[in-house]
Structures are given as structure tokens and as C-alpha cells.
Structure 1
């Protein structure tokens, strides 16, 4: 590991910028290996920064400086100093024009930050600190400037795009052409974007609530032009939803989306020019699954919503990242819930949180949603900042109610339009608009970890009083041993013996939000005429773990009767966890494994219930994932976890064949594909039934899968059938299906990414030998993040049994790939190393082998800041 530790940035050290940039004029002359960048900046001393004229500090990485001038005079080398971070320029006046010429090499930029090439298309990614790889600039979010951008390129790059509105275009004497774009809104450099290539586009328009017509365009390579309609319709829905729910209207004359194949993230909200990972924008029924359609709708909405929650109002510094991301994830979740099944959307979001974010909270990289420090900001684009950040915003919504939250958001946008602000500013707007005190609630922004609530109850039938005692506790996390009590909104209901909700007050309310603010608190409900059954944490009203001593019978009752659909699902999960824990104990003790008959009966009831939303039924039928079981374990015994879950699935499958078969056949009707909520729901349950049937490996079940694979007219059904064949068919049948699928879709990048992922995440086909073979396949590309995530990420994050082989070979393999990737793309390498940083939670030899793999990365030579930070924290005692 490198000798000198990278510099750590601290929130407490924030100071306002010494200089402000009122306008930024950029000129690009595009060449693959030698792009010339000319910048002209109108700069003035920041009146809030104090007296004097300190040096002007400009960030810059991998730039070839050609010249620098102030007010037209070229500076000599004694007037500036090149540093590892950029330039330090001596200043002798409070206002001046700075001009810089520099050269960059987009073709060799494999980090995919700054300006780079994707399939011969020029594109940019500047968040968080990519703009400093384009030109020397005060690259920080609180320096906001109005940008004008001119792009000059050869004629074989007909499309030249940047932020804002097009104001000029023309041809040069040498045959090149140019386009000039002007963004009338001040923005930080991280929102700058440039795209140039031979692209096709689809056009549409949107009329805003005030009557303005906005031009909408989606750009992609010619071969993908037929896969843009869903994204376009999703964009128009998002624009209308944001007007209706938040009163936010779009502000430019044009909104553009560009799909690129090489992209580190899902998408980027650059002002007026959103750049998307192709997998997050391109879809057709033949090539995209239902989940892809829903993901695209969500991400399109997310990036569009950033126009206000991120662009018009942005972050003061990167410690405030959750200010824009947490708020916007909450907004896109509500958008998706309004358009689809709200209950299923909530279940999906909570499943991700419990499986991955809770694990992050319990690991070496644990941090609050507003971190106190970082070495590399790219490492903090985490589920904690995004998903937990969204849950924190959701709690404010729960506390204030929809009307109060809207009043707060209106005030927030009104106060801070055009400003770079902090999380405190967001909370203050919510407080002031509603005349409430959220001082204690602010601890969610500064304290890491997942709070735990221990809930006990007592019913006094002689007084008709029901009491709840709630104790809260948050485990120690790195740098935070002691935690102060959180402000936790705990939504509850009470069920009577007839399964109906009981009235909680004289007004007849059947649920309420208890505001838990102390370490120990007691709540009373009066007028309760019988012993109630507690429905706890309805709708997952807070990102916490709840401990309550439910019996198996009580969980079965909640699973069948709770009016809160989330809690019906949650009861099924709790029931499954209890059974899986018992199976693990039996396995470790050498006893026979047995699944409770009541659990089998409960799952049968779900299958035959035709009144239940099929998507909710599908979610209930799915056992907790191995990753989630591991997260819930005090000490992870990977072999016991895999064996217990495998046995439970086999037992359920064999016991429920008649019901599974009947429901599968019933839902296998032929109809035209539509990504509407009802059809998605039915396909989801149908394919869950197919998977369970194929677990039995019966000839009939595998015949169902084979026929569905061959006849499916949509990718959802075809991919589900392929997955079943990969996991449960014999080698010959599986190999034939894998080959047939590849030959059919070999020219479609996104489908082949799915093909790679289905194999790498399979517990039967995803052996280390096969993973290495996939990496030698012509479809794999180490420089493409999507391919890396599909194969190496699929193996490390979704192939529990193969990754956790007792010989440690899975850990060693991931360590090798991280070392290789760190030289190409540090961001992706840092994300891939995370699974082996959690070695402390594993049992016995597995922990030793995982730590050894992490040490191998540490000792491999000089590491990037990205990987160094994750590895060093992972090795800390």
C-alpha cells in the first residue's frame, strides 16, 4: 500500500471560496488524443472571504498546460506554480479575466471521469470532481458560474451538445464545424456536460403548466434508436408529476438525454443535458425486462427531478451530497409508487436497504448520511447517502404530513434558488414552514449506524389500557462509539382477534405515528377492549431494526390479516427468518432439517389467494436472500446459510407443486407486452412459480421453462426461463439455452450484459472456473463498467455460495481483479473491493482468508485514493 496516506478532507475545515467565477466561456477543439481546451473566466474576489488577495487555487489533474493569461497578458512561470492538485496563481487585483489553454487525451482516459471516449463518442462525467480533468478550474460545488460552451469537431461528429440552449452554429474553413451553447443559469462545474458523436435522436415536446413548449430529445447510436420510446414517455410523466406534486416547472427551451455504453454511474443530471448509462435509458419489450422498464422510469425521473433538487438548488460542499441525492431519491421513489404498485415499490426499496445499506452501516465504511470526512469523495456515492438519505427525508414527510412537507419544500426552493446550500438549510425550511423544532432530528445527519428498537408490550384488561415500551440503541461505528437518541417516527396499528384494525382514539384513527425521542419511552392506548396484536413500523416508517417477541402464530396472523401491505410482507420475512435460523442451528448440530408445516401452509394460502395483488404474493413467496440472512447474523456462517435456504426452497417447492403449477398455467396467457403495473405484477408471480417448480428439477417443470424460453415474446419471460434453465437443468440443456440466447442477442449490448449477469450470479453455473471463462469471452470488456459489474460484481455480490467457497478462492479472485482495475478505473475498483472488507463478521477460517485477500490488495503497490481509503478502513482494528 502506498507510503503517503492521501489527504483527508474534513467538514469542520470548510471555508468559503476566495474567488468567485461570474462567467465561464469554454472552447473545445476535439481530437481523440489531443483535445485543445480554451477557457475564459470572469473572476472576482469573494467579499465573504476576508481581506487581501491570496493566490488563486485551480484544480487540475492530467492536464498539459499550454498558456495562462490575466487580462490578456501571458503569465511567466514565476507568476504561478503547478502543484499535484493543479495551479496556484499569484493575484494582484480583485477582478480580472483569466484565460487558460490546455490539452487533454480523451482516448486514454479509462477512468471515465472528465472528457473521455465511449465507442468513439465524446462524453463527460464531471460529478464529483471530474471537471478538473478537463481544464484548470476552482472545481467545487459552491463556485457557481454561467457557462457558454463552443464545441469544434470534424464533420464526422455531426452532433455537438452541451448545457443550456443552442445559440450559434457554423462551419470553419478547414471543414470542421462548431456549435455554441449558452446556459442562462449559474451552476457549479460538476454539472457541465459535453457530448459529440455520430448519433441519431428521437424528438418530442412537453407543454409546461404555464404554457411554454419544451423540446425533448433522446440521443443514441443508430442501432438503438428504436429503444427510446419508454424513456421519452417516462420523461414526460416525470415533468408532469413534478409540476403537480411539487409545483416545479422546467426552465430551459430544451431537455436532452444521451445514452452511452461506458459510464461509471447510472446517469448524470447535467443541466439540460442528462448523460445516461445505456442500460438505464434504452428499452424495448424484446430486449428489456420488467425490472429494466421500471428502473428506467425511476432513473429518468430521478435525473429530471434533480433540475430543482440538485441543480437550481445545489450543494455547498460534497459533505452535503445527501442534500440533493437523498431528497431526489425520495422524490423518484414517490413518483414510481404513484405510477406502479406503492406496496411493492416500498418492499423493493426496504429490501435493498436491509440487505445492502444496513450492511454498510455495520461495516468499516460506515458513515452518517452527511460524512464528517473523506479521502476520495467518489467513495461516498453510497447507499447510505442515497437510500438512507431518502429514508431520512421520508421520515420528515411522515412527521409533517404531505401538506406540511410540501410547504417546507416550497419554502426551500424559494429561499435557495440559485444557491449552494447545506442540509441545515433544508431542515430549517421544513421547520420554518411548519413552526416545528427538528433539532433532535438533525442527529440523523451526523450519526452513523442503524438504530435498533426493542419493543415490549403489556395489556391491562381491567383498565382497557395497552402499553408499549420502546428502548432505542445504536451500535458503535468507526469514530462514533456513543450515540445520542434519535428522533424516530414509529408508525403502529393494533389488530383485534377478528383481524380488523382497532380504533386507537376517540376519533377512530386506526394507526398513529409515535415519536420516539428518548432512550426509553412508554406509550399508552386507552379504551382497548381486548388483547391486541401489534402491527409495528408500518410502511417501514424509519430505517431501523425492530425487535419484538412475536410468536409464530402471531406472525402467521399478521401475514394473513394486517391491513398494512408492507407489514404483511414483513411478517412473512420474520416468519422465514425464524425458520431459517432454526435450520442453520440444526445443520451445525448435525440434526435433520425440517421446515415448520405452518410455514408451508401459509405459503400455500398465499398462492391460492386470488384477491391478493400478484406482485405482493410474489414478494411474500420469496425467502430472504442469503445476503440479507448474512446481514442479520451475529457471525456469518456462509455454509450454514446457503444450506438452510437451499433446503427451505426445495421443501417449499416440492410441497407446493400442485398450487405452483396451477398458478403458473393460469398466468401463462398470451397477450401483447405492456409494462403496466397489472401485467408486470402477473408476470412477476408467474416467473416466481416457474422458478419454484424448476427447483424440483422435474421433467415437466423444466419442460415449462424450455417452452417459455423458446416462445417468449418479451425479455422478462425469456430471461426468467433462461435463469431457470441455467440454475436447474442439466449441463446439456443449460449449455444449449445459453448458446442459443447469445447467438440471438450477440449484437445487443444491454441484453448481453444480462446474459453475463445471469451466469455469474448462478450458484450452479457461476463457478470460479466459469467466471474466468466469461472474462475471456469476446462479450466481456474490462474497460466497460457494466460488463465488470455483470461478471465480477455479479459473482462477488450475488453468487453467495461460490464467492464464499471455503478455500478462499473467490476472495483471492476478487482481490486480483481489484488490483487490475485500480490502474484502469479506480471508482469501479473501489466498489468491487467492498465485499472483502467485511471479513470481521465472518466465522472461523473464512474471515482469515477474506482478510488475507484484502491484505493482498493493500500490499500490491501504489493504490488510487479510491481503493486506498476503502482498504485501509477495512483493515482497521
Structure 2
């Protein structure tokens, strides 16, 4: 793979050629689709060759200004020379949608044609300048047999349609807004259609359409409600109105991503559209609302204003994740939504920041762009926007957004352009803050506090330590540090946001009668690690009295984590494990707090996962951690058994997501500790009227290794074997089983009639979930978990490299484990590296891991 060269941000050059308009004529056939692309080109650098990107195309003809033109075919490119300053270029190609298993470009999903062009999939449709800074208006004509493909969809507004000989038909779409080719979309198929409309703030009527597979129309209503809710929210919160006459969503089962924001025609994974109470959990409903909102919000933050180059990906993704998080928080529980966002950063993004794929939210180099659709670019990118919002406040932040759109509507711009708009609108200097875009890794804040009883002065010393990933010459970051000080009995004494800008900084506060309890980095005001020696009594005070519900949750995570790590260390020292009774009392108080949001209580009493705990330390004795966590879980559940059962029974029959969250959290703790009666689990499974409770009962039986687990799994399978998204949940449960037969069970299930290695959802549910969410079996001492993942990575390498590269992540994050496990993981990576046709996607991750 030595010929693979990284691309660097510093090497960016504006394109020598631009394209003002593109007319596409797409004649659909499964194995021989014909595409005629006619583009109007312009250049001010006449004499330079035109190099067009192409991948897997059969070239039929090339014409310039209507006449055949000489060309040269290079690896991945079409080269034309001696071109005039202005010209029309017509290229005809043939492609094979049915044989396209990569699911990039134009491909077939369950008999329907669909596209995925971000990041670099358009080059699989025609030769083109496949880069985000080339914007053109699109006019698209699609032709197909009418019988099997009554719906022919593309971006923009429908302007023409008609019948053709041979029982074929055509539709023409026109998009008046210039866009890069990655936003192009085409769908052709036979669907059920849900229709509605939305009247914008200015009085325009927008037609809304959701297309789903036949028989699934009843599962599309929540997506439609979510779309209308998103449109109303974006007008109210950001003053942004939709701009076309129609907005369409199409759900397809074969899709590498969650969804795609193609202008006016969003293509979605079925996972984020199809839902009813029988087949979808409360989390599924929330996920659909969030993702529908995310893709709709892209209409302005990503489509109307887009990225100059792919290194600027966080310009649109970080900003839009922030917007969808705010949407979810405004229409739901702000505390629970914030906790979910924090968990992603602490449990996944921190791992990426310390691993071989560490990169800033604006990467400096890349081999395969698909590898940078990461939690760093998306979720840490959102935290950077959130910090900016904290520093500016809502009013100035909104002024910055308005200035950003006024300056850059219809342009492809950079992260610096966004920050400049925020600075100019607010008058706040963000020059040091810009380091968040360029320095990789997670800063650590070490906190030392002191109280002088004589003067009543409390001091807080903060030292900022930057990781090696930040690079040589890294500078201290600008960190908004939210702080609340409480009295020992829980009364709030002060609350403010500190500006941490120096490597060493000291803050002093006066007027205290006793040392206050500090709620540090409240609401996770910056994506940093915190080192402070909290005492048990301090954490209990914060759990009970912090004004921020998020801070109360964070205190609970710290409290139970301290107990687990103390027992981890005790095992290493050959000492007996114990659990401080005050820990159980603190969790008991949460369960008995009738004023607490049940969904928040469910979060507070949930024990951190093994993967989450691993991210809290530099290295781990894995086996000791597994035993210590299980001991603490068992002891806590035993201490709270009566309260857990009582709370469970109190919540049975209450039909709300919040009540179900706490009820099923109680059930999960009892089951995992081996304290739950099988009859209770079986009763919930059999009497459940919704997928949330049904799945929670099944998960409890599996986690508790109950005798009825196999029977319930079999009954669940028999009922839902023909419903793919529900079978995904079944595959996840099977992949998460803790017994030593799990690897062989997974191999057998890969031949299950409901499983397909070509379908990303199935792969993620069985193979991906095993590697990412079953650490006990994935990191088993005999290395069988690593071998299992490697087997399927080899199969996926030639089938769908993008999916392979995404599920390899647990294998490359070996640095915290013991030498034996590291050796086995590296051996598997070396096996992958020797594959004769290793994809760019896997090569980049594997080679960087081994180099580390």
C-alpha cells in the first residue's frame, strides 16, 4: 500500500476550473445504467489540464462544445488538455448499480436505486470535479421502467415528467441553489408514501413526503412529526426558513451512514425513520427525532453554506450536531440529552483522542476521507461550538450566526470564516480559542483547592496539561470553566464561568464561613479531563444538592467509579473487596427522591460500563476491573434490593418514556446482580405492550444468564424474524452474551436467514456490537474475540471497506491493555496489513495503529 499518499490541509489550492451548471440524464438499468453529464466549465487559468475524478466507470464518450474530444485515462482520473476559457463538456458513462456493494455512488438497495455521494461517491457516477468547493446548479432527468419504479426522485423541485415508449417514464428535477456534488441525490423505486405540508413563517407552503418500503407506512408518522417539529424549531430558535417547494425523506435498508442531508431529498437509513411502539424502543423514537432534525438543520449549516474542503468537515457537522442537541434539549429533557452527549465524549471521543487515529476537529492530513467521519469531528466539534456559545451567550451567538449566513450564503468556506463571524458579531476575541480547531488530544485540568478559615478565602488553582497528541509547541487552550460553590449542607453560594487561558491559573473567592463544596466543570463546560481528589462526602453532597442535574449525575459516576477502582486496586494487592455503605445510601436517596425526573434517576443509578471505566485511566488490569465492577454492582443491588423492587412495581403500568427508563434501570440492576425473580422478567416479557419493555425483559434474562433466556430469545426471534430492524436488536443481544460460546454463536448467526454481510445494519448489530459493546468476550484471554473480528474484517475489506474501517476501532485501541492482549491485537492487525488488496479505509487505521 506504499502508493497511498496522505493529503494535507496545507496543500489546498483553489480549483483551476469551476462549473456553473450540470445537467444529468440518468437512464436506469440494474447492471448498465447510462449517465450523460453535461457541464458548463469556466477557467481563469487557461492552459492547465483538467483532471476529473472517476472510480469504477465505463467511459463511453467525451465531447467538448458538442464535438468528440481527445482524452487520457489515468488511474482514478480523466485528463483533458488545451481547453478554452469557457466550454461545455459532455461525458457519457456506464455504471453497475447492482454490483456496487460499497454503497457509495449509485447502487441498489432491496430493488430500489439510491445514492450516497458524501464524501467522494459522485465520482462513481460520472467523471467530475469531486470536491466540495465546486458548486453548480443541477438539472436532473431520471428515466426508468414505470412498473417497478413509479417514483423517480432527485434534488430540488419537480419541473417535468412524462411517459416513454417501452413502458418507461421520466421525471426532471431542478435545484436552483448551487451545491457541491456530494449533496447530489437520486432515488428510484416503488414505495409507500406519507404526505403532509408545512407553512413557513413567511407563509410559503412546503410539501412534505416520507417514502418507505411497502407495508411500512404506519411506521413513518413519527419521522413526519419530527420533521415538522424541526422546521418550526429552526424558525423559532435560529430564524431559518426552508427554501424549496418540497422536502423529501426516503428510508433505505442498505446504507452505510445514519442519514444524508442531500438538498431537499434526504436519504435515511431505515433505522432512523421506521418506528411504532411494537417495534421501536423509546430510545429509537428519540434517535429518529434527533437525526431527522440533524439532517433538516443541515439545509443551512452544510447545504446553503458548505465546506471549502473536507478538512473543514466540522464546519458543518460540529455545528449541526450542536444544533440537533439544542433541538432535542428544547423539546425534551435538557439534562438527559446533555448527559447523553457527555457520555459520547467521555466514553468514545476521549478514546479516539488518545489512540492512533487522534486528530483535531480540523484534521491536518488524511489518506481516506471516510475515516474522518468521527466522534472527534462531529461530537467534539459540537462541544467546541457549545463552548463558543458559552463564551458569547445566546444573543451574541445568534448575531454571529446571522452574520455568518449573510456573508457566506451560497459559498464553500472554512472553520476560520465561522469563527470570524462570531468574533465580528460579538466583539469577543477568539484568537486563542481557535486552538481547539488545530490541536489534537484531550487537555487535562489538575485542580488544587485551599481554604483559609481566618480570611474566609477559598482558592482554586488550575493547571492545564496538554497531551502528546497536541504536538510540539502546543499552547494552552481557552477553556470556559463552569463552577458552582455549595455549602456543606447543599446551599448554592455562587455560580460562574471562569476563563481558563494559562498553563497555571489561580482564582480566589471570599466571604465563606467554611470550605465550600465545588462543582467543577459543571455541565461539562469543556471537553477536558479533570483531576481533583474528591472526597466521598463531597460527591454525596453534589449528588443531592448541585443546582445542575447534570452535575448530580456526574457526581454519581465519580462516586461509583471510585468504588470500582478501589476494589480493582484491592484485587491487585491481594486484599478483600469492600463497598462503603455511604455509596449505597447515596444511591438509595436517588431512588427515593420523588421530585427527581425518573429518566434522570435512571441515568444516576446506572453503573458505568467497562469501556467507560477504561477511559478513566491510563492503563488497566482488565480481569481485575471486570471482577471489581461486578462485585460493586452485586453489593449495590443487594443493598438496594427492596427499594429497586419497590420502585419497579410502583412504575409498572405507567405509560411514559421517563417511567419506563427508571423501571427498566431497576430491572437491569437486579438482573445483572442475579437478584431478579425469573417470573418477574417473564411476566414483563409476556405482558409488554411496547418494544421498550419487551426488549428490557429479554435483555434482563440474557444479562442475568437466566434459564429462560434461550426460550425468550427463541420466542422473540419467531415473532420478529421478518422485521429487520427488530432482528438487529436480537443480534445485538446475542452478540452481548457473556458465556464462552459467544464467538462460535456469532459465527453461526452470520448464516442466519435474517443476517447479510452486505447490509451495514446487520454487520453493526452482530459483529460491530460484539467488538464495541461486549468487552468481556472481545478481550477474552485466549484472543478468540480478536480473531473473530479479524475474520469478518477480511471478508468486509473487499465488500464494504467503509463499514470494515468503522468496526475495526476496538482492535486498534490496544494501548491500555496488558502485554499479552496487546500482542494478540497487534498480530491481528499485522494479518490485516498483509492482505494483498487491503482497502485505503482499513490501511490508514491499521498502519497508524501499528506505527503507534
Query: Are positions 1:135 and 2:135 aligned together?
Result: no
Counterpart Cα distance in 2 of 1:435 and 1:251: 31
- Contact 1:344–1:615 at 8 Å: present in 2 too? yes
Residue 300 of structure 2: aligned partner: 308
Residue 762 of structure 1: aligned partner: 737
Counterpart Cα distance in 1 of 2:600 and 2:450: 32
Root-mean-square deviation (Å): 1.2
Query: Are positions 1:345 and 2:343 aligned together?
Result: no
Counterpart of 2:400 (choices 399, 408, 411) is 408
Deviations 1:541-578 (A, max 9, x none): 00001111111111111111111111111111111111
* 1:295-374 mapped onto 2 (5 Å cutoff): 295-374=287-366
Counterpart Cα distance in 1 of 2:539 and 2:639: 21
Counterpart Cα distance in 2 of 1:233 and 1:281: 11
How many Å apart are 1:589 and its aligned residue?
2.7
Counterpart of 1:723 (choices 685, 699, 706) is 699
* 1:676-755 mapped onto 2 (5 Å cutoff): 679-698=656-675, 701-731=677-707, 733-755=708-730
Residue 249 of structure 2: aligned partner: 257
Counterpart Cα distance in 2 of 1:815 and 1:222: 37
Deviations 1:511-563 (A, max 9, x none): 11101011001112233343211111111100001111111111111111111
* 1:451-530 mapped onto 2 (5 Å cutoff): 451-477=443-469, 480-502=471-493, 510-530=494-514
| Count of residues paired in the alignment | 851
- Contact 2:489–2:541 at 8 Å: present in 1 too? no
* 1:510-659 mapped onto 2 (5 Å cutoff): 510-659=494-643
How many Å apart are 1:774 and its aligned residue?
1.4
Farther off after superposition, 457-466 or 738-747: 457-466
- Contact 1:766–1:799 at 8 Å: present in 2 too? no
Counterpart of 1:123 (choices 114, 119, 140) is 114
Residue 43 of structure 1: aligned partner: 41
Counterpart Cα distance in 1 of 2:741 and 2:228: 40
Query: Are positions 1:83 and 2:83 aligned together?
Result: no
Deviations 1:470-511 (A, max 9, x none): 10011102x824421000000101001331111xxxxxxx31
Counterpart Cα distance in 1 of 2:820 and 2:739: 23
Counterpart Cα distance in 1 of 2:389 and 2:81: 49
Deviations 1:125-163 (A, max 9, x none): 000000000000001000000000000001121010000
Counterpart Cα distance in 1 of 2:660 and 2:721: 25
Counterpart Cα distance in 1 of 2:692 and 2:82: 61
Residue 675 of structure 1: aligned partner: none
Residue 85 of structure 2: aligned partner: 94
How many Å apart are 1:652 and its aligned residue?
1.4
Deviations 1:249-270 (A, max 9, x none): 0000000000000000000000
Residue 61 of structure 1: aligned partner: 55
SS at 1:486's partner residue?
coil
Query: Are positions 1:836 and 2:811 aligned together?
Result: yes
How many Å apart are 1:331 and its aligned residue?
0.2
Counterpart of 1:8 (choices 6, 9, 16) is 6
SS at 1:140's partner residue?
coil
Residue 813 of structure 1: aligned partner: 788
How many Å apart are 1:762 and its aligned residue?
2.7
- Contact 1:367–1:449 at 8 Å: present in 2 too? yes
How many Å apart are 1:832 and its aligned residue?
1.6
Counterpart of 1:427 (choices 403, 419, 430) is 419
How many Å apart are 1:729 and its aligned residue?
4.2
How many Å apart are 1:691 and its aligned residue?
1.3
Residue 798 of structure 2: aligned partner: 823
SS at 1:539's partner residue?
coil
Counterpart Cα distance in 2 of 1:304 and 1:448: 30
Counterpart Cα distance in 1 of 2:472 and 2:700: 46
Residue 845 of structure 2: aligned partner: 870
Residue 26 of structure 2: aligned partner: 28
Farther off after superposition, 806-815 or 379-388: 806-815
Counterpart Cα distance in 2 of 1:527 and 1:404: 32
Cα distance 1:164–1:836, how it changes in 2: closer, same or farther (>3 A)?
Answer: same
How many Å apart are 1:840 and its aligned residue?
2.3
How many Å apart are 1:835 and its aligned residue?
1.1
Residue 236 of structure 1: aligned partner: 228
How many Å apart are 1:861 and its aligned residue?
2.0
**TM-score, structure 2 as length reference:** 0.99
- Contact 1:760–1:766 at 8 Å: present in 2 too? no
Farther off after superposition, 590-599 or 815-824: 590-599
SS at 1:632's partner residue?
coil
Counterpart Cα distance in 2 of 1:452 and 1:485: 11
Counterpart Cα distance in 1 of 2:783 and 2:179: 48
Counterpart Cα distance in 1 of 2:818 and 2:495: 42
- Contact 2:740–2:777 at 8 Å: present in 1 too? no
Gaps of 5+ in 1: 503-509, 672-678
How many Å apart are 1:844 and its aligned residue?
2.5
Counterpart of 2:209 (choices 211, 217, 222) is 217
Gaps of 5+ in 2: none
Deviations 1:369-397 (A, max 9, x none): 00000000000000000000000000000
SS at 2:434's partner residue?
helix
SS at 1:823's partner residue?
helix
